[in-house]
Amino acid sequence: MEQVSSFKLLGIIINNALKWDDHITVVTSKAAKRLWFLKKTKCSGVSQADLVYYYQAVIRPVVEYACPVWHTSITGQQSKKLDWLLKVTGNGTIE
């Protein structure tokens, strides 16, 4: 049997130390790319409602996927990395 340092199972990356560093890195990278596209789309004059819809349908699910599994055991720094991706103001505008 081969020993690996990390393994992807059902979209969750688990490493041999049972830490979530690899998973958080992949998730933030993927979400940041989509957030970049959202910001470029905003500059092209897309309506605020469509931007919020894109955010809720495309970015937020990437960050929140299987969070009941990993959320309780991430560090404060990892939590901050995720928080900036999920920042939407109460009136529905994207910052």
Instruction: Give the global pTM.
Output: 0.80
pLDDT of the residue at 9: 92
Rg, C-alpha atoms of the chain: 15
Helix (H, G, I), strand (E, B) or coil at 56: helix
Average pLDDT across each block of 10 residues of the chain; the chain has 95 residues. List them in order. 91 91 93 89 89 90 90 89 68 47
CA distance 95 to 84: 10
pLDDT of the residue at 27: 93
